Structure formats: C-alpha cells, structure tokens
Structure 1
Amino acid sequence: MADESLLFGRFNSALASIGASFTIYYAVRVLLFLVKSFKMFGLRLGANPKKYGSWSVVTGATDGIGKAYAEQLAAKGLNVVLMSRTESKLDAVASEIASKYNVQTKVIAVDFTSGSEIYENIGKQLDGLEIGVLVNNVGMSYPYPLYFHELEDPEKLIQGMINVNCLAATMMTYLIVPSMLSRKKGLIINIASAAGSLPTPLLTVYSSTKSYLDFFSRALNVEYSSKGLIVQSVMPYFVVSKLSKIRRSSFTVPTATSYVKSALATVGNETRTFGCFVHNLQGAVVSFVPEVISDYVQLSMHQGLRKYALKKKQQKSQ
C-alpha cells in the first residue's frame, strides 16, 4: 500500500511538473507575442518603401486594401501605377492621388480574370519605369459561402478565381523581378488572406488560391532575400472593402486605411504577417486551437452565412 502511495505521489509530481512546464512555455510565448506586436505595430519601425525605387505598382487599386496601399505609398513619395478593370474608376483614383500627394500616376485598365495573353501588353506599359514596389492585391472570392458542388457557372468562376488570385500575382512578379534584380533592391507585397493559412470550408477554391499565394511569397523570399529583394505575404482577416462586403469598421474589422498603415510598418521586419495587431491576435489564438475545432467552427460559421445569403437571394427573386 505504501509503495502504491509513493508511486501515485511521484505520478502526481510528474504531472505537476509537466503542467508547470507547459504553463511557462505558453506564458513565454504570449509575452514574446506581446513584445513583438508592440515593436511591430506600436513603434511602427517599418522600412521606407521609397528606398526601393521611384515607382510602385498596385493591382486591384480602386477600392479597399489596394486603394489604401496606393494612397499610402503615394504619401511616402512614390509614383503609382494603378491597375484594375474599370478605367473610369482608375482615372478618378489616379487624379485624386496625384492632386493630394503631388506624385505621378499611370493607369492600366485590365481584366485579370483573362488568361496569360494580357501580360505582354502590361509588360510594354511598365517598360522603362523604375519599379521599386509591387503590391499584388487584386483578388476574387465567392459571392457567399457555398459547397463546392453548388458553385454557379463553375467554369467561369473557378477559372476566373485562379487567374485573379494566382496567375495575376505570379505573372506580375515575373514581369517586374528582373528589373529589381538588376538594381539589387525591390519590395513585393502579396495580399494573401487568413483564409489561406488554414483550409476554409465553403470557401474552398478561394482559400486554396490564397494558400498558393502565401507559399509563393514565402518561397520567393527565400530565393531572393540574398539578392536585395523582400517578398512579403500579408494575410488579413476581415477588412472594410467591397470584397468582404463589410461597410462598417469594428474592433476586429479595421478600415482599409488603418490596416495598410499597420501592414506597412511590418515591411523589413516581417515577411509573413497578419498585418495589424488585432488580426495578429486572431492568428495567434487560431494557432493555439486544434485544427479539428477550427474546422468545426469555420464550417458552422460559413453554413450560417450560406443559409442567410440563400434566404436573401430567395426573397429577392419573389
């Protein structure tokens, strides 16, 4: 009996030691997270994008995060090439930026849902510009969460999403990297998504394409970091924009302007970032949650959004 009590006591002692070790480990992780977040988003010690060249290129530049990057880069003294589908919207944003920030602007109207045939003309229009910063922001998502077999006009939607979310960033990078390498400096910012950091059910194709963009960025950064280039993957959660269909900011949903100000503060310090403190916090919390729980929560949330969207769609058709 005494031997059993002694063994039980040692077992409890071992469990207590393990528990204390885990507590210390996670406490240290939380402390390091807070210190790093304060340094990143509180002090805002990001590199000056202007040091990479006199011109920047921003895709998807007429709304949301893309427009905010174009404005913030212009505020730092860079000339801006704005690229998006609608020329009238591009002209309006370009005129606004040129007037407000006293920089040069250039617009290139292009439909990124098209295939590889569009990039020869884009290359010609960019030729001769000292492009120091490329922001691959243009993106395309589902109209609302759907099961994969429910996608309407799937050939058009799937092909368009792959062309916009994967091909555009890949080809734009391919066009611009050689001139950056010749000057041994350049900054490429790829706007991926938190939806690409883990599988996202009912947004399967969107999540997968954003995961590609994240891996593309990380691999390129390893390839070219020794050659003076920075390739950054930015993974926002929800931000006020047309893509998210959210029009009001909240604690967890910043405006595009405030988000981009925070994200630019990470340049030169983080090559993979959630972009702002609250999104960084969300990412940290998700990293602690077992994937089976995360899958369940996301599936339940997106099933609810799907049900609501289908109900609204039915009401409109009546």
Structure 2
Amino acid sequence: MDLMEIFFISLGAVVVLYHVVKLVLFSRILFPKLWFPLSKSFFTSMGEWAVVTGASEGIGRAYAFALAERGMNVVIMSRTRERLDLVAKEIGEATDQTVKVITTDFINENVFSEIEDQLKDLDIGILVNNVGVLPGVVPSRYLECENLDQMITKVINCNVKTMAKMCKIILPGMEKRCTTISLGKGLIVNISSGIATVPFPYYSLYAASKIFVERVSQGLQAEYKDKGIIIQAVAPFGVSTRMVSYQKTNIVTLSAENFVKSSLQYIRAGDRTNGSICHSILGWILQHIPLKIFYAECVLHSLQSYIKNQLKKSQPPKSSRSTAALENQTYL
C-alpha cells in the first residue's frame, strides 16, 4: 500500500468518524431525557424561589407554572397587576406553592433598585429572563417601524438592559451559595430567539437584541460553570402567544406550555438550545441556507406575506393588535 492509498483511506476514516460524531450529537437533540436526565429534586435543589420576568402570559406564565409544579415558590413580574394577580391565584390553587407578585414596567429606565429591594431576602435559585418586546408583529424594514426612536429605547431597555440587570441582581446570591454549599447551585434561563441564528432582515433590531442575550449568556456560563451555576440561552422559533396574536399551533408553532415543557428537558444541554426538536431542526436549516438566497427580496416578501396571512387566520381582538408589541411574551 503506497502513501497515496494510506492518505485517502485515512481521509475517508476521518470523514466517517466526523459524521458519526455529528449523528451522535444530533441524537442528543432527539432524546434529551436519555442524554440530559434530571432528578426529581433538580429544580428545588437550586434554591427555594424562582423569579420569572414577563410572567403574566405566554412563555413566562408557562415557566412560572412549570417551576411551581416542580416544587418552587415563584416570583412573577410584569407590568399588569390584574393579570399577575390572576396568574398568582391560578398557580397557588394548582400547586399550593407561594407566589409573590412584583408589578414593574421594564421599558422604564429606573426600576431595578426597587426590584432588588423586593428580592433581597429571598433564597433565589432560578431566574427566567423572559420579558421581551417585538417591534412589530409583521416583519418590516428598519425605517418602516412605527415610532422608531421610541421603539429603539423600548427594545434596548426591555430586551437588553433588563436581562443584564436581572443577572446582576440574582447572580451574587447564587455565587455566595456556592461558597457555603459543597455543590454550588443556580440556574438562569435567558430567552433569546431562533431568528438570532443569522442576521435577519425585517427583524434587524429585535434579532440584534437577542444576539446580545445569547452572547452574554454564553460568556457568563463560561465564567460561572465551575461554580455549579447553569446559565443558558433558549432560542425558540414559533410559540403561540399574544405577541403574535395567538397563531394556531402546529408542528412548528408550539403552545407556550408545550414549548416550556420541552425546553426544561434541555437545561443540561449546553449554553444555548432551541428548546425543542422541531425548533432545533429549523435552526439547522436556517444556518445552512445560503444567505444570498435568504436575503433575496422575493424570499423576504414571501415571509412577510405568510405572516400577514397567518395573522388574518388567527383573527385576534383589535385590542391585542394594538398592544402586542408592548407586552412581555417572547415569540421568535
């Protein structure tokens, strides 16, 4: 056997090994319970309390319910007192867990000192940074966004600043716990977006804000992993919430409850996950579409038209349309 044959056999073996490894890694997405098992006490071992921002509806409400069902007391935060009180009552009656309500509007500048005061005496083991603003339900060009100056401020305050500030408030307690307990505990889940997978026209501002969420999450995980603290960015695609006028659920667009149930199975899957099998496949497809094709005007217009049609089919109340972009559910 000459050197050329040895070279090609070795090259073939490397290629086969590469694809076997890729297949094994992909199987982890298909079978999260097998690859990333969680004990019954996993969540309660983190601490007594979980804090969920944007918890009055949608994904945030679903996380609050799911964590209470797993034995956590929960702090739910949003800007609408009526909805929060209703959610608190529902969680308390369904789970017998304690629910603390904090009313705040994360779009405003100076809300975090008051939040910190209300949280300072709690043993917080889990933080879910869910609150987020979508500039518009229908994707559009940057300059076509209504009240663009105000929307820039809202997106930065709500999607960027709030996540960083809440981590600043909660992380010190988790780090302190690591020095007093042999196995340091803490979990932070930061809700990103599947559209942040690539630079995404028509969602430019929103996608950029979610890239910030992902990079900070991944950096913090590298810093705090050795202390036993899990920090993960969760990047869903379609989830049926009021932010998107409750589009009908299907294999791609999941209900908030089903998405959260799925995403909790991936808590130990790394510093970033799409949270479900179908959304992981969508993310893989999006990464492998040539950007020149994806950025073609006809493709973007087709996406815009598709979303408009879906919204028409869902027939949301008029009041929901006018307030959807200001509420605290994360869809993309």
Question: What range describes the TM-score normalised by the shorter chain of this pair?
Answer: 0.7 to 0.9
Q: Give 2:133's aligned residue.
A: 140
Tell me, in whole angstroms, the C-alpha distance in 1 between the residues paired with 2:24 and 2:295: 27
The amino acid of 1:158's aligned partner reads I
The amino acid of 1:272's aligned partner reads R
Q: Give 1:31's aligned residue.
A: 23
Shift of residue 281, structure 1, vs aligned partner = 1.3
Q: Give 2:67's aligned residue.
A: 73
Q: Give 2:251's aligned residue.
A: 251
The amino acid of 1:237's aligned partner reads F
Q: Give 2:198's aligned residue.
A: 198
Question: TM-score, normalization: structure 1?
Answer: 0.85
* Structure 2 SS opposite 1:182: helix
* Structure 2 SS opposite 1:252: coil
Task: Specify whether residues 301 and 231 from structure 1 end up closer, same or farther in structure 2 by C-alpha distance, changes over 3 A only.
Answer: farther
Tell me, in whole angstroms, the C-alpha distance in 2 between the residues paired with 1:28 and 1:285: 19
Deviates more, 1:117-126 or 1:23-32: 23-32
Tell me, in whole angstroms, the C-alpha distance in 2 between the residues paired with 1:29 and 1:254: 29
Residue 171 of structure 1 pairs with residue 172 of structure 2: no
Structure 1 unmatched ranges of 5 or more: 1-9
Which of these residues, 96, 108, 118, is aligned with residue 125 of structure 1? 118
CA contact (8 A) 2:28 2:35 kept: no
Q: Give 1:299's aligned residue.
A: 300
Task: Specify whether residues 74 and 310 from structure 1 end up closer, same or farther in structure 2 by C-alpha distance, changes over 3 A only.
Answer: closer
Task: Specify whether residues 20 and 252 from structure 1 end up closer, same or farther in structure 2 by C-alpha distance, changes over 3 A only.
Answer: farther
CA contact (8 A) 2:197 2:287 kept: no
* Structure 1 SS opposite 2:127: strand
* Structure 2 SS opposite 1:132: strand
Shift of residue 170, structure 1, vs aligned partner = 0.7
Tell me, in whole angstroms, the C-alpha distance in 2 between the residues paired with 1:96 and 1:33: 39
Larger radius of gyration: 1
Task: Specify whether residues 191 and 212 from structure 1 end up closer, same or farther in structure 2 by C-alpha distance, changes over 3 A only.
Answer: same
CA contact (8 A) 2:247 2:310 kept: no
CA contact (8 A) 2:77 2:103 kept: yes
Shift of residue 194, structure 1, vs aligned partner = 0.7
CA contact (8 A) 2:244 2:311 kept: no
Tell me, in whole angstroms, the C-alpha distance in 1 between the residues paired with 2:250 and 2:223: 38
Shift of residue 302, structure 1, vs aligned partner = 3.8
* Structure 1 SS opposite 2:76: strand
Task: Specify whether residues 98 and 182 from structure 1 end up closer, same or farther in structure 2 by C-alpha distance, changes over 3 A only.
Answer: same
Shift of residue 303, structure 1, vs aligned partner = 3.9
Tell me, in whole angstroms, the C-alpha distance in 1 between the residues paired with 2:164 and 2:87: 25
Q: Give 1:97's aligned residue.
A: 91
CA contact (8 A) 1:41 1:277 kept: no
Shift of residue 259, structure 1, vs aligned partner = 0.8
* Structure 2 SS opposite 1:208: helix
Tell me, in whole angstroms, the C-alpha distance in 2 between the residues paired with 1:220 and 1:294: 32
Tell me, in whole angstroms, the C-alpha distance in 1 between the residues paired with 2:18 and 2:300: 28
Question: TM-score, normalization: structure 2?
Answer: 0.82
The amino acid of 2:252's aligned partner reads T
Q: Which runs of 4+ in 1 moved over 6 A?
A: 19-23, 306-312
Tell me, in whole angstroms, the C-alpha distance in 1 between the residues paired with 2:103 and 2:164: 18
Identity of aligned residues (%): 34
| Higher RCO by CA contacts (8 Å cutoff, separation 6 or greater) | 2
Shift of residue 158, structure 1, vs aligned partner = 1.1
The amino acid of 1:274's aligned partner reads N
* Structure 1 SS opposite 2:64: helix
Shift of residue 218, structure 1, vs aligned partner = 0.4
Shift of residue 181, structure 1, vs aligned partner = 0.5
Tell me, in whole angstroms, the C-alpha distance in 1 between the residues paired with 2:226 and 2:311: 50
Q: Give 2:322's aligned residue.
A: none
CA contact (8 A) 1:41 1:276 kept: no
* Structure 1 SS opposite 2:230: strand
CA contact (8 A) 2:198 2:286 kept: no
CA contact (8 A) 2:36 2:268 kept: no
Tell me, in whole angstroms, the C-alpha distance in 2 between the residues paired with 1:247 and 1:310: 7
Tell me, in whole angstroms, the C-alpha distance in 2 between the residues paired with 1:186 and 1:307: 41
Structure 2 unmatched ranges of 5 or more: 179-184, 319-332
* Structure 1 SS opposite 2:77: strand
CA contact (8 A) 2:221 2:230 kept: yes
Shift of residue 300, structure 1, vs aligned partner = 3.6
Tell me, in whole angstroms, the C-alpha distance in 2 between the residues paired with 1:44 and 1:181: 24
